[in-house]
Amino acid sequence: EDVPLVVPEVNPEDVKWHRGVIANPNCTTIIMLVAVAPLHRAFGLRRLVASTYQSASGAGAKGMLELLAQTKALLAEAKDLDELYDSFAMFHAFDHMDKDKIGIITNAGGLGVMSADAAYNATYIGAAKLTDETIQRIKTDVPTVAGVTNPIDVRGDAKAEYFEKTIKIVQEDPSVGGLVVMGSPLDTADLEAVAENLVRIKDEIKVPIAVCWAGGRKCAAAAAITRAGGLPTYPTPDRAVHALDLLRKYTDRGQIPCTPMIEPKKSGRAKAQEILALAAKEGRKALTEAEGKEIFKAYDLPIPGEATVTSADEAAAACNKIGYPVVMKIISPDIQHKTDVGGVVVGVKNEADAKASYTKIMESCAKAKPDAKLVGVSIQQMVSGKEVILSMIRDPQFGPVISFGLGGIFVEILREISQALAPFSEEELDEMIKSTKAYKLMSGARGMAKSDIEAMKDTIRKLVKISLENPEIKELEINPVIVGDEGKGCWAVDALVTLV
């Protein structure tokens, strides 16, 4: 019998099992969890176990690379247990989605709107534009239909047979690659009959389908029927749409080439090791911002013009040389989050302002952190552009994890970032950037100027090189990176580096 799913119940150190598991030709999905029992309770699955050792043909080695690629995809998308379970249910039922547009069928207009919104905000799929022929067939065959432009609203009193007819018509539309079918517990709706019909015709449905019963306990019986019948079943429209989005992403990853990441020509490892060794000798677990930027410069990672000063007069002279306006920041190995202690002044406009700002920074930091070593103040050229965050954290099992997203204060407010395990391909680099809201801003949304995305990519490549060549670095954060308009470049205006 085929093995549609393998869920080893393992500890992190048991990842070595993948060589045997992936070699099984019938295995379609692998999820590694510490606790499996919740899945059995949620889905009523029987326990499936499959393991073979690597064959002489080397299939296991090839499978290992595929496993790594799929693991990266899950790490990027499964942000919580709900998403993990949702993708699990979808991949258990379907292994590909060939087109990126979906048809939405519902008995409640509001649910249809919610699904359409979710499709609009999805990364890999969108709502299909149905052909005139499809629309006319729906109008003819489904007399209760209230809306036919997608979402298709078959109305609250729609019979199970009308859902069936609509599904069979919409799946034939040339643009449709998947379906979201939703039911709401209205007084005249027989959702259990609809659910039984869906299970009966599931083998006739030619595209992946996500079923949504949006009504809590009132839909429990219908949900149990479709779930037991092998149809991916979800409690909300956005989760149903997102599951199809993940399936389309999975399909895309198997179709696109894997181009090795372009490696930056310059290695600054010698300089970086010198700085890291000094910090270790002094017993420090963090670099100063100035030291972090020295490493950046060694790798040709661009930073704005700057100077280090130790008095108010030096601050005024440096500001005059760099040119106004400037940013002034405290330099201290004991202060990592400078704004929290009054260690940053933005928009210094003249010589008097420079002197006053220097004094203010030193006094504020001394008061907030009386035991901190205050080295001086960094004077930095102000650059304009869109703010993004770029960071690395070294996972003890997987190595450097690179993160990208909206920067500045937005990283804490929106908490929206994408991640990838380094090293990664050029396609994964594109995906990491394009899957964020930051990309929508950088690509010229609503008439805004386009940002220098190519310069941003080059900065990420250099951060990857720094991370791979210097295992002594535990965490590295640049917040923000200022991305200028297209062709103008980008700059790392901050550097937070901690050591293992």
Give domain limits for the chain: 1-52, 73-255, 305-382, 386-499
Token pair for 416:
């929206």
- Give me the half-sphere count of Cα atoms (radius 13 Å) on the Cβ side of residue 354: 28
Token pair for 223:
């949900």
Q: CA 440 to CA 333: how far, in whole Å?
A: 36
pLDDT of residue 58: 33
Q: CA 461 to CA 471: how far, in whole Å?
A: 16
Measured CA to CA in angstroms, residue 37 lies from 44, 91, 232 at distances of 10, 19, 19
Identify the bridge partners of residue 213 per DSSP, sorted by sequence position. Answer: 183
List per-residue pLDDT tens for the chain, 500 residues long. Answer: 344 444 444 444 444 444 555 555 555 555 555 444 554 444 444 433 333 333 332 333 333 344 444 455 444 446 678 888 888 899 889 988 999 999 999 998 899 999 999 999 898 899 999 999 999 999 999 887 888 889 999 987 778 889 999 999 999 999 999 999 999 988 777 899 999 999 999 999 999 999 999 988 899 999 999 999 999 999 999 999 999 999 998 787 655 567 889 999 999 999 999 999 999 999 999 999 889 999 999 999 999 988 999 999 999 999 999 999 999 999 998 998 899 999 999 999 999 999 999 999 999 999 999 999 999 999 999 999 999 999 999 988 778 999 999 887 676 666 778 888 888 889 889 989 988 888 888 988 777 899 999 999 999 999 999 999 999 999 999 999 999 999 999 999 999 999 99
Q: CA 31 to CA 262: how far, in whole Å?
A: 31
Which long-range contacts does 438-446 make (Cβ < 8 Å, 24+ apart)? 438/386, 438/388, 438/404, 438/405, 438/406, 438/407, 441/386, 441/406, 442/386, 442/388, 442/483
Q: CA 363 to CA 129: how far, in whole Å?
A: 62
Which secondary structure element, helix H or strand E, spans residue 220, and what is its range? helix 220-228
Q: CA 73 to CA 250: how far, in whole Å?
A: 8
Answer whether 173's CB lies under 8 Å from 103's CB: yes
Identify the bridge partners of residue 477 per DSSP, sorted by sequence position. Answer: 391, 496
Token pair for 361:
């920074």
Say yes or no: domain 73-255 is CATH 3.40.640.10.
Answer: no
Token pair for 185:
């517990």
Answer whether 111's CB lies under 8 Å from 154's CB: no
**DSSP three-state, residue 314:** helix
pLDDT of residue 253: 65
- Where helices occur in 323-415 by DSSP H, the ranges are 351-368, 410-413
Overall CATH class of domain 305-382:
alpha beta
Q: CA 318 to CA 306: how far, in whole Å?
A: 8
Q: Look up the CATH architecture of domain 386-499.
A: 2-Layer Sandwich (3.30)
- Give me the half-sphere count of Cα atoms (radius 13 Å) on the Cβ side of residue 39: 24
Amino acid (1-letter code) at residue 386: K
Q: CA 275 to CA 283: how far, in whole Å?
A: 13
